[in-house]
């Protein structure tokens, strides 16, 4: 929900772990996943590896952080289900003793309760999650996460990508926060005279459709063609081979992408005076428009266009929060009418310019090489839904995401990454050690979601 009036500053939401709330959520979760999120079941691979780590944690030998892929908003709930339901059963199966609860302290973005509602903040707090602002140096949030990693009664869990991209088989570049937390944990343990192992555990999450619905997918593309003023492509009924179907659908997505891109180029050139190249590949033009959208927001907030796309995105979002949730306004303070009107106007303009960042964030749908590389129903569906998200943003952003069928989830536990083995490198060059560990984690996660990943030990439970 968009805030329309000036607000007092955002407060830190401290984790207040409550076992009753956790137990209730664990019982409700299977039904919530099945009926609200339309997830039929979750398959987990190599869970024995996770069970052994939990046993080592509960024995005081190891502290670890689960670094999980984050393509969709459903990932934390699926991981929550893994820890609450699949992990205990697999541990029992392999005679690995574990104490209840098998849970984790999740690190979440402080902005989530702003759009998900105040209940989300209350709930996250009660299940032991801790918030952090990604767009600034959040000392309070970092201290909380750091303390929980070194001293908490549960392991940690965090998504190192920084933002969603909607693609199960394509990752963003990782942010260095997870690697830095690992080294901080090791440092804090040494200061206490403790010598537990510190480990980062990569976990992959991929989504599949139970029954590919090509007809529904084609109808959704037709809707997008209509929304963009294009003539609907009528697929010949003789398209019976996979190759012919894939070719037609891919060409329709490419046509849509070029059409949307052309409209956005005209939009930012004519109305925001952003210079854009007239020629180039789809990806080159896409990145130019994405940069124009970010530049538009950055100019309004007085920010310099520095860093990666994700870093720029976080700074823009943080600047917007600073202008909506004002540090210079006390919660109990009543502003004079004129001053309040000006403050509310700033909020209105801030939301408008924040829209440019949200739009740029949704541009992943224009990367058509994702389906050309591997034309599965899942990739077609993900790309089409991302395109729908771009169109929905341009139309006003009020529609509910289309339903293309029930999904199932595959979670794969990767091989643990030792922080302790990299401690000497950290002591000699901290920045380089953090960067190297981040790159190693990136490759590990990319390997897990790769189709060539070795056949693991699988267990599947119905939600």
Instruction: Report angle CA 353, 359, 365 to the nearest 5 degrees.
Output: 175
User: How far from chain centre, in Å, is Cα 345?
Assistant: 31
At 330 the pLDDT is: 76
> What is the β-pairing status of strands 197-209 and 417-418?
antiparallel
List of residues 6+ apart from 429 with CB closer than 8 A: none
At 463 the pLDDT is: 44
Nearest to 158 by CA among 171, 143, 176: 176
- Three-class SS of residue 407? strand
Q: Are residues 284 and 171 in the same domain?
A: no
Q: Are residues 105 and 148 in the same domain?
A: yes
Domain count, the chain: 2
pTM of the model: 0.93
Residue 412 lies in a domain: yes
Q: Are residues 189 and 234 in the same domain?
A: no
The last residue of a domain, from among 395, 417, 441: 395
Enclosing domain of residue 68? 19-210+406-462
Residue-wise over 365-394: b if at least 16 C-beta within 10 A, else e? bbbbebbeeebbbbbbbbbbbbbbbbbbbb
Q: Are residues 203 and 219 in the same domain?
A: no
188/137 Cα distance (integer angstroms): 20
Residue 11 lies in a domain: no
Q: Are residues 225 and 205 in the same domain?
A: no
Residue 78 lies in a domain: yes
Q: Are residues 299 and 437 in the same domain?
A: no
At 47 the pLDDT is: 97
The last residue of a domain, from among 342, 366, 395: 395
Q: Are residues 29 and 151 in the same domain?
A: yes
Q: Are residues 415 and 382 in the same domain?
A: no
Residue 12 lies in a domain: no
At 462 the pLDDT is: 46
> 2: how many CB neighbours lie within 10 A of its CB?
12
Residue 1 lies in a domain: no
106/301 Cα distance (integer angstroms): 31
Q: Are residues 64 and 196 in the same domain?
A: yes
Contact 395/66 with Cβ under 8 angstroms? no
Which residues sit opposite 42 in a β-bridge? 409, 461
Nearest to 384 by CA among 208, 171, 167, 221: 221
Q: Are residues 389 and 457 in the same domain?
A: no
Residue 434 sits in a domain whose CATH number is: 3.40.1130
Q: Are residues 264 and 339 in the same domain?
A: yes
Q: Are residues 201 and 234 in the same domain?
A: no
Residue 188 lies in a domain: yes
The last residue of a domain, from among 371, 395, 419: 395
342/336 Cα distance (integer angstroms): 10
109/88 Cα distance (integer angstroms): 28
* DSSP code of residue 417: E
Residue 10 lies in a domain: no
What parts of the chain have a pLDDT lower than 70?
1, 235-240, 364-365, 367-368, 452, 454-463
360/384 Cα distance (integer angstroms): 16
Residue 236 lies in a domain: yes
At 310 the pLDDT is: 87
- Three-class SS of residue 151? helix
Q: DSSP strand E in 188-289: where?
A: 197-209
296, two tokens: 């538009």
């Amino acid at each position: 929900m968009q805030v329309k009036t000036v607000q007092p500053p955002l407060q830190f939401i401290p984790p207040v772990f409550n076992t009753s709330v956790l137990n209730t959520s664990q019982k409700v979760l299977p039904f919530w996943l099945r009926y609200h999120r339309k997830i039929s079941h979750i398959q987990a691979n190599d869970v024995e590896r996770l069970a052994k780590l939990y046993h080592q944690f509960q024995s005081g030998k190891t502290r670890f952080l689960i670094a999980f892929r984050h393509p969709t908003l459903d990932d934390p709930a699926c991981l929550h289900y893994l820890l609450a339901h699949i992990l205990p059963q697999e541990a029992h199966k392999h005679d690995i003793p574990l104490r209840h609860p098998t849970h984790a302290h999740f690190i979440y973005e402080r902005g989530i309760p702003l759009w998900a509602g105040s209940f989300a903040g209350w709930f996250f707090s009660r299940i032991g999650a801790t918030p952090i602002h990604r767009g600034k140096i959040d000392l309070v949030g970092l201290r909380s996460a750091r303390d929980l990693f070194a001293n908490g009664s549960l392991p940690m869990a965090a998504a190192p990508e920084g933002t969603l991209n909607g693609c199960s088989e394509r990752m963003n570049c990782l942010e260095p926060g997870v690697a830095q937390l690992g080294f901080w944990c090791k440092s804090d343990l040494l200061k206490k005279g403790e010598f537990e192992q510190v480990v980062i555990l990569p976990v992959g999450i991929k989504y599949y459709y139970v029954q590919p619905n090509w007809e529904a997918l084609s109808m959704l593309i037709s809707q997008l063609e209509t929304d963009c003023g294009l003539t609907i492509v009528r697929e010949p009924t003789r398209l019976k081979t996979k190759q012919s179907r894939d070719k037609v659908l891919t060409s329709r997505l490419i046509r849509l992408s070029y059409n949307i891109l052309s409209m956005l180029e005209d939009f930012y050139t004519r109305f925001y005076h952003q210079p854009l190249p007239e020629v180039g590949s789809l990806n080159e033009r896409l990145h130019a428009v994405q940069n124009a959208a970010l530049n538009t927001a950055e100019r309004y907030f007085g920010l310099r266009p520095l860093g990666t796309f994700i870093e720029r995105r976080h700074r823009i979002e943080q600047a917007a929060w600073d202008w909506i949730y004002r540090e210079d306004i006390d919660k109990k303070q009543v502003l004079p009418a004129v001053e309040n009107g000006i403050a509310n106007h700033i909020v209105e303009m801030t939301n408008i310019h924040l829209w440019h960042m949200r739009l740029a964030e949704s541009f992943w749908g224009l990367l058509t090489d994702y389906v050309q590389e591997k034309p599965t129903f899942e990739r077609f569906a993900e790309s089409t839904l991302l395109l729908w998200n771009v169109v929905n943003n341009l139309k006003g952003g009020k529609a509910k995401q289309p339903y293309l069928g029930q999904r199932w989830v595959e979670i794969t536990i990767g091989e643990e990454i030792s922080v302790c083995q990299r401690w000497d490198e950290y002591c000699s060059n901290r920045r380089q050690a953090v960067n190297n560990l981040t790159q190693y984690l990136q490759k590990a996660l990319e390997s897990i979601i790769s189709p060539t990943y070795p056949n693991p030990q699988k267990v599947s439970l119905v939600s």
